[in-house]
């Protein structure tokens, strides 16, 4: 068994895998890390490897504390990946984006792929049908947009995600919901349409915490999987074992 751990900007997500099957998944705050990992390992004592991808501010020592019981594997830029990194600044490319791209290559071989991760930030990553990672885009996610409107204005309220009643907001709250939600939806559809102008055919993978909410609202056909990063961590680790 393998325990994958994704340390994001706001939360930690993890899953226990038996080969390629998720047995159970977990979401918790960073301050709960050690306690939660202990509970998971007690529940799944046959776990042999802990696989970590981190973009959040969590010390490696927090994971190394479990090193007596299982093998600790940090996915880093030095690992082997199933694509050629054509990013102009390859070492600044986030590990989470690299893992997502690896998962897209391994799960959807021999095709163009666009991975959209709708989390704290919305990231776009494009890998062509020859397995070249070409780059993408980064923009604020839904929660960041709500918080920015509240934090950088004098009177706008802090709202939580809600589907706007109409694109013409008839109150301040509805105007904010329309601006945030419709803004994100139109952004994503707009990016997809730009890719369509350059590439005749490609697979679109939508993941992240807001994937389910957004999937119903997008005009373009997508493959929505909120667990794609955890699954990609497992795929990347298996690829690493075979190719190291």
Active centre residues (catalytic): 96
SS (H, E, C) 13-57: EEEEEECCEEEEEEEECHHHHHHHHHHHHHHCCCCCEEEEEECCC
224/214 Cα distance (integer angstroms): 9
- Measured between alpha carbons, how far is residue 89 from residues 4, 93, 112, 121, 125 in Å? 27, 7, 22, 19, 14
H or E stretch covering 211:
helix 211-215
Return the closest-CA partner of residue 206 out of 184, 195, 221: 221
In the block, residue with structure tokens 């904010």: 176
Counting beta carbons within 10 angstroms of the beta carbon of residue 104, is it exposed (0 to 12), middle (13 to 18) or buried (19 or more)?
Answer: buried
80/103 Cα distance (integer angstroms): 13
Q: Are 204 and 214 in contact (CB under 8 A)?
A: no
- Measured between alpha carbons, how far is residue 149 from residues 29, 146, 157, 161 in Å? 25, 5, 8, 13
8/230 Cα distance (integer angstroms): 12
């Amino acid at each position: 068994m393998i325990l994958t751990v994704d340390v994001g900007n706001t939360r930690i997500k993890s899953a226990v895998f038996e080969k390629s099957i998720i047995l159970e998944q977990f979401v918790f705050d960073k301050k709960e890390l050690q306690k939660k990992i202990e509970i998971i390992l007690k529940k799944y004592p046959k776990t042999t490897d802990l696989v970590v991808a981190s973009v959040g501010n969590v010390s490696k020592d927090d994971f190394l504390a479990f090193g007596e019981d299982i093998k600790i594997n940090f996915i880093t830029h030095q690992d082997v990946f199933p694509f050629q990194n054509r990013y102009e600044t390859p070492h600044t490319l986030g590990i989470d984006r690299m893992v997502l791209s690896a998962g897209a290559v391994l799960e959807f071989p021999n095709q163009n792929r666009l991975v959209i991760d709708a989390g704290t930030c919305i990231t776009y990553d494009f890998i062509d049908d020859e397995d070249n990672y070409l780059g993408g885009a980064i923009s604020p996610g839904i929660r960041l947009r709500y918080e920015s409107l509240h934090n950088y204005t004098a009177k706008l309220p802090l709202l939580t995600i809600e589907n706007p009643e109409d694109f013409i907001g008839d109150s301040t709250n509805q105007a904010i919901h329309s601006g945030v939600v419709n803004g994100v939806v139109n952004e994503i559809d707009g990016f997809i349409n730009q890719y369509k102008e350059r590439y005749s055919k490609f697979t679109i993978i939508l993941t992240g915490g807001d994937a389910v909410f957004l999937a119903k609202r997008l005009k373009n056909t997508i493959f929505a999987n909120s667990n794609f990063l955890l699954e990609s961590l497992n795929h990347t680790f298996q690829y690493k074992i075979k190719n190291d």
